[in-house]
Amino acid sequence: MGLLGRNRDTNSVERVLVATDRSETADRAVGWAAELAGRYGAELVVVQVRGPSGDAATGAEEDLSTLARELAGERGRALLVAGDDLSQAIVDAAEAEDVDVVVVGNVGMSGRREFLLGNVPNRVSHLSRRTVVIVNTAGEPKRKRFWQ
CB atoms within 10 A of CB 60: 15
Q: Which domains does the chain have, with CATH numbers?
A: 15-135 (3.40.50.620)
pLDDT band at 142 (very low <50, low <70, confident <90, very high): low
> What integer pLDDT is reported at residue 3 of this predicted model?
46
Residue 11 clears pLDDT 80, i.e. is over it: no
- pLDDT tens digit sequence for 76-110: 999 999 988 999 999 999 999 999 999 999 875 44
> Which one, of 37, 33, 35, lies nearest residue 18 by Cα?
33
Assess contact for 92 and 83: CB atoms under 8 A.
Answer: yes
- pLDDT tens digit sequence for 40-76: 999 999 999 987 665 556 678 889 999 999 999 999 9
The per-residue DSSP string of 38-63 comes to HHHT-EEEEEEEEPTT----TTHHHH
CA distances to 18, 39, 107 from 26, in Å: 9, 20, 8
